Amino acid sequence: MSPRSSRRAGLTVVEVVIAMTVLALVLAMVGLATLSGQEAYKTGVNAAHLENMTRRTLDRIADELMEAGQGSIGMQALQPLGSAALTYRTNEGYAAGNNVWSTDTTIQFQYAPGEVDDGVDNDGNGLIDDGVVVLIRDSGGPDQQTVVLTRWVAEFLQGETPNGADDNGNGLQDEQGLSFEYDPGQRTLTIRLTLQRPDAEGRIATRTMQTSVRVRN
């Protein structure tokens, strides 16, 4: 082989090595982009699911409270603290010209099973002191029944910390992840809810929503 041919062969080998290196870099970048896209997708799915869960829970609570009697709500859920529990009665019809009221129903925040108020993730779900929203029919009565409306409830409403101040500027102090506020003058109940949920990588999505219900009875 002539020296000229050897030089051409050498250049060809270098070109192959360079091409393989460039290809490896391209594949690595594609892999990273794909992984990043998958993580973003998972995060988006978790956030969308949480938003839907928050909205559905608020709608369910609002539907329950549409028929609540103003007198049965009384002085609960007033400023500055609001309340994480609301007990009320609903109008079930009329008899002899008078309203017929149901037994007590309670909607409230409870710490999740296995969770206690101690600043520790006792149930190992990635959240600290989280809770559930429960609906209790015949509250305190012989036929009491409890239904869990949602899990993943934050201990405190988004932006709030237990320091005796109104950290998130909504007029309430130290309100929990489920919060009721009642304006007797306007006969309006405002319900606020913060849900939090970690994804598979431990990243926590947070959603906070509120709605208002005018008490009609």
Q: How far is Cα 72 from Cα 216, in angstroms, rounded to an integer?
A: 12
Structural domain includes residue 180: yes
* DSSP line for 142-192: TT-EEEEEEEEE-SB-TT--SSSS-TTSSS-SS-BSEEEEEETTTTEEEEE
Residue 81: closest CA among 169, 164, 194: 164
Structural domain includes residue 21: no
Residue 88: closest CA among 109, 78, 98, 102: 102
Q: Which domain covers residue 119, as residue numbers?
A: 43-214
Contact between 175 and 163 under an 8 Å Cβ cutoff? The reply is: no
The predicted structure's pLDDT at residue 107: 95
Sign of the four-CA dihedral 64, 70, 73, 77: positive
Structural domain includes residue 82: yes
Structural domain includes residue 54: yes
Q: How far is Cα 52 from Cα 19, in angstroms, rounded to an integer?
A: 49
Structural domain includes residue 20: no
Structural domain includes residue 33: no
The predicted structure's pLDDT at residue 203: 87
* Tally of domains in the chain: 1
Q: How far is Cα 80 from Cα 95, in angstroms, rounded to an integer?
A: 38
What is the CB neighbour count within 10 angstroms for residue 112? 18
The β-bridge partners of 180 are 83, 191
Q: Average pLDDT by consecutive 10-residue portion of the chain (217 residues)?
A: 51 73 74 61 77 96 87 67 88 82 93 95 95 96 96 96 93 93 87 93 92 84
Structural domain includes residue 3: no
Structural domain includes residue 147: yes
